[in-house]
Amino acid sequence: MISLYDLLRASNGQLYGDPAAQLFTDFCLDPQQAREGLLYVALRTSQVDTHHYIEEAIQNGVSGVICVGPPGCDTTGVSVLMVRDTVEALMSWAQFALGKMKVRRIVVSGSSAKSLTAAAITRVLATRYRVHQGNLDDDGRLSLALSMAHLSSEYDYVVMKLEITQPDDMRQMVETLQPDIGIITNIDCVHRSSFASCQQYREDYYALVDYLRSPDALLILNNDDEATREMLTRAKGRVRTIGIDVFGADMMMYNLKPGLDRTGFDLRYEERYLGRWSPVVGKQHLYSLLAALTIGVQVGIPLEDALKALTELPYLPGRMNPLNGRSGAMLIDDTYKAGVASTMMALDWLNYVRMDGQRIIFVMGDIDHLGKNSQYAHRSIGLRAAEVADVIVTQGAQAALVGRAAIDQGKDINAVRTTYSVQDAVAVLDDLKLNENDIVLIKGGESVRMEEVVRALLADPADARLLVRQQKTAKSVSLPSRPLHPAWLEIDREAFAGNVRVIRQLLPPEVTLMAVVKANAYGHGAIMAARIALLNGAGYLAVANIAEALTLRDAGIEAPILVLSYTPASAVRQAVQQNITVTVFDLELARMYDRAARDVGGQLKYHVKLDTGMGRLGVLPADTVAMFRHLHALKHVALEGIMTHFSAADTDPAHTQTQLETFKNLVRMLRAGGFQFKYVHAANSAAVLRSPDYFFNMVRPGLVLYGLTPETMTLPAGLRPLLTWKTTVLQVKLLPAGHPVGYGNTYITRGPERIAILPVGYADGLRRAPATWREVLINGQRVPLVGRVSMEKCAVNVTDIDVSAGDEVVLLGKQGSDEITPEEVAGWLGTSNYEVVTTIMPYLAR
Ligand SMILES: *Cc1c(COP(=O)(O)O)cnc(C)c1O
């Protein structure tokens, strides 16, 4: 039970309006699960703001609300408590609640396996005592505080997990929770980016070591982990160590018999030796058992009883769980929350249990929160994965480095598959034709939701209930973490994959889809776009220049690539060696390529471009036949295709039709003259949408793949834009009437006006002149830009809406029910949607 007055006293909060209910049965974070008796918790942190759900929670019947600002809706009949910071208030309340009970407190900390450790301890202690299992599903302070709702004086022990996410967390938490027993499972030196160094991260754990100095306190340390072993020298209270295979630990396992769904072991404790097994796999999880056994013997539980208790453990989703996959494959679901050390241990385990003839497939998604350590960490995993796994499938931009490192290590490029979405990862796994000889290990950080990959691979869909994150929690309403640059782009990769598939379905199977990814994939990110396009039905890529083609090759993309524009002869060596196709638009160029290719000792593939009415690059119809006559003689270049480009497929169907006829006639004549073309192509996005007449056997759309609309046309169903350009409000100020805003005093406030400053300017691609961006979205509403756009700042007038510093701003894309499209911005700027998206600076995080 939660008492309103306990909360009020502990949190130093204030009642808002008249109190109603004084006791609540539990907390509630999800407004949809709100009902009578519950206290709705509204959060406002750097990651989430759930205050706008208060009204819904009240409508659904909650009896109370705790929040930081006025609730902003009718609260009659509901007790409302306002506090400075909800999480802090609840932590103070947890401290208060714990203080009222005589329950012994056990805290589990460390970089990995905290949940299993807490579960194992609970299991062992429950053979004799009443144990309250605190936060099981989540490690944060909030869930810790919330889990005290059901604590009562009936319990002998409470087991809590502590996660430290920033410096000084541990000190604050031990002061609040005042533990009697503490465990540090291990310390992963590839730590969160919120710590300056491994040293600082380690140092934080010392707060627990220092706190547990009284003679009846107990500290359990992992003897096999260098960082925790070092703590022994500073520990003043009672300490017990745990370890595997290395003598010296108080409680030691050896003679491990790892299996696919259980682990056998021998145990040594005070000159006693016992054998047993437990249904856990992975070395990191065995330390959990050792910690539980140690606590058990310390509180008088016979070792045999404790060992027996550990043959049954509750099922924890997403932690090295064997599940039945399609076609008899075995899935190891480790999708809860990957860290570097736990990933390495999981790979070690795989290496140990694999049998001859088995195929090991390692599926890895991005690990979260690693900051500047991220690249190094993902690469290290790649090096180990190259040794253990037969096939590596990655999902996400950071995990792509796992694959890259494996290739650098000598792994066959075909054994490494890089994807950027759940859908694509599943498609790749389909392609691998899973069978009963496969073991598939699936790992990743919380944000990549790799449990969705597991779900797609399950033999029995009913097993989905065994997956992690199946319930809504605070996480499901949290905002994504923000990159360091103050303005950034969010790219909806699933939408891109979907768009490519929609276009692919418009085409007969014999027509090759050449995905145009020039100009950094129209500003969306070329490598990501190229990979997704290829996974979803593209057979060829097109870029504007050889540098772009080489960037794709560097990323390990092996599909054919056509350079649409000019390629200098000096680049022919690279083009030949890296299988890049070039465009020829006059005879001299063809001859130059021929000589260069001869020098390199290879053959250069090329397509000839005809100018059928665009007046840009290409051979004019009158010169075509004459030029082709000379091409026969060139032996070091290989003619692969012929193409033309439409100047107004979007706006001038008649002209396009004439271009089409000209092109068809020329192709017919050339064929009659003995030329063969593997590819004949003309259609850009607008032509693809217009008619199959323009398809030939290859099409080259760009724009529509990104969900953008050719002028005067409408998009087919299923195509959607994927780019959102965001920033946040830096400052909000009230200016008096007559006050200038921005350089040149071009805007003067007309009355008292509230002005918000945004950290984005023309250096980021937010145009200043001659016409500027007109509006942005904040809290779902449109607000006008005022004054001149600066290099990296601009101002908007927010007089009419409720805005505070830190609020998210959308420059391009959807927010709430409104949307600013590239087409609309193109109207403001007097340009096309193409220019709007391609002039957003490439250095902004995507
Ligand atoms: C850019 C380009 C395309 C793609 O045009 P969209 O209108 O974006 O579909 C096709 N062909 C050539 C030669 C191009 O330069």
pLDDT at 479: 42
CA of 676 to the centre of ligand 1 (A): 24
pLDDT at 143: 86
Alpha-carbon distances of 668 from 77, 680, 682, 691, rounded to whole Å: 82, 11, 15, 20
For residue range 126-144, what is the model confidence (pLDDT) as tens digits? 999 999 998 876 767 888 8
**Rounded to whole angstroms, how far apart are CA atoms 41 and 13?**
14
pLDDT at 474: 39
For residue range 147-181, what is the model confidence (pLDDT) as tens digits? 999 999 999 999 999 989 889 999 999 999 999 99
- In ligand 1, the atom with minimum distance to the C-alpha of 516 is 4
Asked if residues 220 and 240 have their Cβ atoms less than 8 Å apart, the reply is yes
The DSSP code for 142 is: H
CA of 835 to the centre of ligand 1 (A): 13
Beta carbon of 703 within 6 Å of any ligand 1 atom: yes
* Probe residue for ligand 1, chosen from 517, 663, 700 as the CB with the greatest number of ligand atoms within 8 Å: 700
Beta carbon of 645 within 6 Å of any ligand 1 atom: yes
CA of 618 to the centre of ligand 1 (A): 14
For residue range 548-560, what is the model confidence (pLDDT) as tens digits? 999 999 888 989 9
Task: Return the ∠ at Cα 557 (arms to 555 and 560), rounded to 5°.
Answer: 140
CA of 611 to the centre of ligand 1 (A): 14
Residue 475 has pLDDT above 50, yes or no: no
**Rounded to whole angstroms, how far apart are CA atoms 225 and 248?**
13
Q: Where are the beta strands (DSSP E) in 281-421?
A: 321-324, 330-334, 359-365, 391-395, 416-419
Confidence of residue 481 (pLDDT cuts 50, 70, 90): low
Residue with CA nearest ligand 1 atom 3: 684
More confident residue, 712 or 331: 331
Residue 228 has pLDDT above 90, yes or no: yes
Write out the two tokens for 224. Answer: 């096999």
Beta carbon of 684 within 6 Å of any ligand 1 atom: yes
What angle in degrees, to the nearest 10, is found between the helix axes of 374-388 and 340-353? 0
Mean pLDDT of 359-386: 93
Asked if residues 569 and 582 have their Cβ atoms less than 8 Å apart, the reply is no
pLDDT at 471: 61
* Probe residue for ligand 1, chosen from 514, 645, 663 as the CB with the greatest number of ligand atoms within 8 Å: 645
Beta carbon of 618 within 6 Å of any ligand 1 atom: no
- In ligand 1, the atom with minimum distance to the C-alpha of 704 is 9
CB atoms within 10 A of CB 757: 17
CA of 545 to the centre of ligand 1 (A): 13
Confidence of residue 348 (pLDDT cuts 50, 70, 90): very high
Beta carbon of 418 within 6 Å of any ligand 1 atom: no
CA of 824 to the centre of ligand 1 (A): 21
Mean pLDDT of 325-351: 94
**Rounded to whole angstroms, how far apart are CA atoms 318 and 338?**
10
- β-bridge pairing 26-28 and 38-41: parallel
The DSSP code for 465 is: G
What angle in degrees, to the nearest 10, is found between the helix axes of 169-177 and 198-211? 20
CA of 492 to the centre of ligand 1 (A): 22
Alpha-carbon distances of 501 from 152, 184, 357, 430, rounded to whole Å: 56, 49, 36, 16
For residue range 416-474, what is the model confidence (pLDDT) as tens digits? 999 988 888 999 999 999 999 999 999 999 888 999 999 999 999 999 999 988 764 43
Does 743 participate in catalysis according to the annotation? yes
Average the pLDDT over each of 51-65, 137-151, 620-634 and give the range with the smallest value.
137-151
Side chain identity at residue 501, one-letter code? R
For residue range 563-588, what is the model confidence (pLDDT) as tens digits? 999 999 999 999 999 999 999 999 99
Residue 184 has pLDDT above 70, yes or no: yes
Asked if residues 453 and 417 have their Cβ atoms less than 8 Å apart, the reply is no
**Rounded to whole angstroms, how far apart are CA atoms 65 and 395?**
39
* Probe residue for ligand 1, chosen from 541, 564, 581 as the CB with the greatest number of ligand atoms within 8 Å: 564
Q: In angstroms, how far is the first alpha carbon of the chain from the final one?
A: 46
Does 814 participate in catalysis according to the annotation? no
- In ligand 1, the atom with minimum distance to the C-alpha of 564 is 13
> What residues contact 719, with CB distance under 8 A and at least 6 apart?
498, 499, 502, 503, 704, 707
Look up the pTM and report it: 0.75
Share of the chain above pLDDT 90, in %: 81
**Rounded to whole angstroms, how far apart are CA atoms 536 and 426?**
12
Asked if residues 501 and 468 have their Cβ atoms less than 8 Å apart, the reply is no
**Rounded to whole angstroms, how far apart are CA atoms 378 and 374?**
6
Residue 272 has pLDDT above 70, yes or no: yes
The DSSP code for 537 is: T
- In ligand 1, the atom with minimum distance to the C-alpha of 710 is 7
- β-bridge pairing 775-778 and 808-815: antiparallel
- In ligand 1, the atom with minimum distance to the C-alpha of 701 is 9
Cα–Cα nearest to 512, from 680, 366, 370:
680
pLDDT at 483: 64
Alpha-carbon distances of 635 from 570, 596, 743, rounded to whole Å: 19, 12, 62
Asked if residues 40 and 31 have their Cβ atoms less than 8 Å apart, the reply is yes
Query: Phi and psi (nearest 5°) for 720?
Result: -140, 150
**Rounded to whole angstroms, how far apart are CA atoms 533 and 515?**
7
Asked if residues 444 and 400 have their Cβ atoms less than 8 Å apart, the reply is no
Residue with CA nearest ligand 1 atom 14: 564
Q: Cα 749 from chain centroid?
A: 42
**Which secondary structure element, helix H or strand E, spans residue 638, and what is its range?**
strand 637-644
Beta carbon of 700 within 6 Å of any ligand 1 atom: yes
CA of 521 to the centre of ligand 1 (A): 11
Beta carbon of 543 within 6 Å of any ligand 1 atom: no
Residue 774 has pLDDT above 90, yes or no: yes
Beta carbon of 702 within 6 Å of any ligand 1 atom: yes
Beta carbon of 685 within 6 Å of any ligand 1 atom: yes
More confident residue, 666 or 163: 666
- β-bridge pairing 679-683 and 637-644: parallel
Mean pLDDT of 359-370: 94
- In ligand 1, the atom with minimum distance to the C-alpha of 522 is 8
From 114, 518, 609, 726, the catalytic residue: 518
Mean pLDDT of 517-546: 95
Residue 476 has pLDDT above 60, yes or no: no
| Residue-averaged pLDDT of the chain | 93
Beta carbon of 701 within 6 Å of any ligand 1 atom: yes
- In ligand 1, the atom with minimum distance to the C-alpha of 685 is 9
* Probe residue for ligand 1, chosen from 684, 685, 688, 719 as the CB with the greatest number of ligand atoms within 8 Å: 684
CA of 103 to the centre of ligand 1 (A): 70
**Rounded to whole angstroms, how far apart are CA atoms 672 and 158?**
86
Confidence of residue 295 (pLDDT cuts 50, 70, 90): very high
More confident residue, 64 or 32: 64
**Which secondary structure element, helix H or strand E, spans residue 378, and what is its range?**
helix 374-388
CA of 794 to the centre of ligand 1 (A): 33
Confidence of residue 484 (pLDDT cuts 50, 70, 90): low
Query: Phi and psi (nearest 5°) for 498?
Result: -65, -45
Residue 480 has pLDDT above 50, yes or no: no
Side chain identity at residue 672, one-letter code? A
Residue with CA nearest ligand 1 atom 6: 702
Alpha-carbon distances of 233 from 221, 239, 481, rounded to whole Å: 12, 11, 38
CB atoms within 10 A of CB 789: 23
